[in-house]
């Protein structure tokens, strides 16, 4: 990506013939549609992105961003066409109309981009705001957008558990765009979980051929494909080994009071768990093994004796902590602390 300054420098009105009075009677002369989302009748500037015009407030944009202030108060403005006393500023070189809608809505309709709506905020909104806030040098806005992304791709186990593991509102088709976006903007701390989702949720076809996203095709780079392949292989082997070792071990030393029935239950739980290796994202995040007919919190269904139940819970707790801590290294990345720097 070009440095922001370079991109902004190119951002001049895409109009070659300027009438002497610069006033135009109707926006349709420019092929502009009025944005249904960001349009204020008392706005004093028209921002153009592609074929869409947004009527907003010049002073508010200018005080947010030094590059926008230059565009909105400098010589650029003197060249703009004017409609109903609103200069028409073209930002098409930095944004399509969809991204501009998200960006301008985040500024002028802040409730649409607030943390209390986090479950409704989409990756498209977040990526548009991060990209344009970077270009127009609005660090607070960029940070806010990234915090929303981090809530879905947390860097700590508590955060992962609190969002319910993998959030369903982020559909599968967005995993590759998220990784592509993270690589493009060096947002490395979301990569471990994004790669983890990739190996669990993407099928062979989408892993090899990628996915359509907007007007582009997104495919994982060969280097990242290799790291995901290696990680998937490693996780399947190590999880299988861990489950076999745990569920087939002698129970007498753990203070089992359930006798043969407890041992039988343990073997059955292990047998239920093994086929799920590599398919359940949270295989080591819940216990006992999740089954289709059981709720997530299914420890009350366990047939283990009380001592074995507690022992198994402790084992799972330490396993999942170790698993989480090791997740970046499984994908050949630096540890969580380094990734967050
Ligand atoms: Zn027992």
> Both tokens of residue 162?
């609190």
Q: Which residue in the block uniquely carries the two structure tokens 């753990």? A: 254
Compute, in angstroms, the gap from residue 302 CA to the centroid of ligand 1.
Answer: 11
pLDDT at 27 over 70: yes
Residue 268's Cβ-side half-sphere holds a number of Cα atoms within 13 Å equal to 11
Q: Give the Å distance between the CA of 281 and the centre of ligand 1.
A: 27
CA of 309 to the centre of ligand 1 (A): 7
Strands, E, within the chain: which ranges?
33-39, 45-49, 52-56, 82-83, 86-90, 211-213, 216-218
What is the reported pLDDT for 224? 95
- Beta-ladder partners of 34: 53
State the Cα–Cα distance between residues 207 and 219, nearest whole angstrom: 7
pLDDT digits (tens, 9 = 90+) for 207-235: 888 888 888 899 999 999 999 999 999 98
Give me the long-range contacts of 150-155 (CB less than 8 A, separation at least 24): 150/189, 150/190, 151/118, 153/178, 153/189, 153/190, 153/193, 153/194, 154/193, 155/189, 155/190, 155/192, 155/336, 155/339, 155/340
Q: For the chain, what are the domain ranges?
A: 4-96, 236-330
- Residue 318 alpha carbon to ligand 1 centre in Å: 19
For the record, the structure tokens of 272 come out as 């239920």
The reported pTM is 0.79
Which residues contact residue 112 at a Cβ distance below 8 angstroms, ignoring those fewer than 6 apart? 105, 106
User: Which comes out higher in pLDDT, residue 9 or 315?
Assistant: 315
Helix axes 139-152, 97-108, angle to 10 degrees: 100
pLDDT over threshold 50, residue 302: yes
Task: Please check the confidence at residue 159 and state whether its pLDDT lies above 60.
Answer: yes
- For residue 237, what are the contacts with CB-CB under 8 A and spacing of at least 6? none
| pLDDT number for residue 275 | 82
Residue located via tokens 């076809």: 205
Q: Which of 113-117, 150-154, 262-266, 331-335 has the lowest mean pLDDT?
A: 113-117
Q: What DSSP assignment string belongs to 1-25? A: ---HHHHHHT-----S---TT-B-S
| Residue 340: pLDDT band with limits 50, 70, 90 | confident
Per-residue model confidence (pLDDT) at position 258: 86
- Compute, in angstroms, the gap from residue 312 CA to the centroid of ligand 1: 10
Q: Cα–Cα distance between 160 and 83 in angstroms, integer?
A: 50
Tell me: pLDDT of 262 over 90. no
More confidently predicted of 79 and 199: 199
Q: What is the reported pLDDT for 170? A: 52
Give me the residues near ligand 1 (ion), CB cutoff below 5 Å: 256, 258, 262, 305, 308
pLDDT value at residue 25? 66
Instruction: Give 307 Cα–ligand 1 centroid separation in angstroms.
Output: 6
263-283: average pLDDT: 78
């Amino acid at each position: 990506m070009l440095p922001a300054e370079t991109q902004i420098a190119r951002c001049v009105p895409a109009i070659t013939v300027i009438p002497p009075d610069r006033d135009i009677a109707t926006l349709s002369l420019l092929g502009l549609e009025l944005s249904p989302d960001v349009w204020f009748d008392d706005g004093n500037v028209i921002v153009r992105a592609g074929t869409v015009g947004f009527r907003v407030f010049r002073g508010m944009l200018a005080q947010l961003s030094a590059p926008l202030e230059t565009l909105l108060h400098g010589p650029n403005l003197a060249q703009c066409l004017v409609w109903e006393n609103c200069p028409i500023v073209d930002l098409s070189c930095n944004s399509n109309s969809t991204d501009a809608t998200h960006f301008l809505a985040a500024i002028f309709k802040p409730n649409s981009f607030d943390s209390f709506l986090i479950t409704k905020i989409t990756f498209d909104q977040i990526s548009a705001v991060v990209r344009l806030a970077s270009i127009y040098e609005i660090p607070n806005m960029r940070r806010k957008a990234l915090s929303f992304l981090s809530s879905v791709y947390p860097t700590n186990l508590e955060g992962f558990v609190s969002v319910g593991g993998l959030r369903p509102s982020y559909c599968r088709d967005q995993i590759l765009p998220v990784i592509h976006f993270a690589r493009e903007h060096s947002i490395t701390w979301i990569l471990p979980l994004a790669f983890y989702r990739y190996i669990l949720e993407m099928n062979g076809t989408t892993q090899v051929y990628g996915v359509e996203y907007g007007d582009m095709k997104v495919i994982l780079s060969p280097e990242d494909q290799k790291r995901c392949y290696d990680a998937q292989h490693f996780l399947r082997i190590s999880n299988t080994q861990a489950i076999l070792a745990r569920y087939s071990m002698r129970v007498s030393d753990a203070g089992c009071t359930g006798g043969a029935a407890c041992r039988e239950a343990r073997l059955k739980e292990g047998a239920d768990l093994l086929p799920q290796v590599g398919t359940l994202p949270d295989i080591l995040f819940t216990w006992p093994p999740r089954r289709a007919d059981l709720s997530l919190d299914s420890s009350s269904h366990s047939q283990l004796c009380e001592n074995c139940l507690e022992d198994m819970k402790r084992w799972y707790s330490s396993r999942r902590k170790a698993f989480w801590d090791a997740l970046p290294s499984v994908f050949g990345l630096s540890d969580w602390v380094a990734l967050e720097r």
